[in-house]
Structure 1
Amino acid sequence: MQGEKIIRIAELEIEAIRLPEYRILLAEEIEASIAIEPGVLMLHAVAERERPEKIRILEVYADRQAYEEHLKTPHFLKYKEGAADMVKALRLVDVDPVMMRSK
């Protein structure tokens, strides 16, 4: 539905040997998305402490159109192409907010 926020968790597993390279690519993509795209409301990436190759990204988009536009941006396409052979597994989980706050 247009106007409804898109909230998703991306669960990734990265080739351990490529992790430093992946993190640079991901950081560039997140920085560009937040700086350039008004419809990208939040991108938070974290890694499991004991298994740093397990990355989780909490993504929040203003609406479906903002998400679709994000997928076509040069910075996202650069990330997607650059990370293609680094990603061992990817699962996208659509979620509903229960309580989300930040300071």
Structure 2
Amino acid sequence: MAQNKHEVAGVPLGNIRNRNELRVVRLMPQVLAEHLDYHPSYLDIQDIYALTLNNLPPRYRQQGTIVIKEPVSDEEILRELRNAVGQVELAPTDKES
């Protein structure tokens, strides 16, 4: 019997998510709007997203998780997003010829 790739010993693990993922998605348009002359490509946006998440401490949640205190502030996410935009803007994925 084949096992689901997001299961271990019959326990589903696919619904455990990093809480910062949606927060980065929510705040990214605000940071991109600050860079009026920068028009990131599809891959640039993915790079900004991934780089930002890699530079934040992960905050995993599962169904039933109770968050008492959020140790990662929106200001910290905004700072990391700005750093990632600056880094990707200097070395974009899709270079224009």
Q: TM-score, normalised by structure 1?
A: 0.30
Comparing both structures, which one devotes a greater share of its residues to strand?
A: 1
Q: TM-score, normalised by structure 2?
A: 0.31
Comparing both structures, which one devotes a greater share of its residues to helix?
A: 2
Q: Give the greater-gyration-radius structure (CA).
A: 2
Q: Which has the higher contact order (CA 8 A, sep 6+)?
A: 1
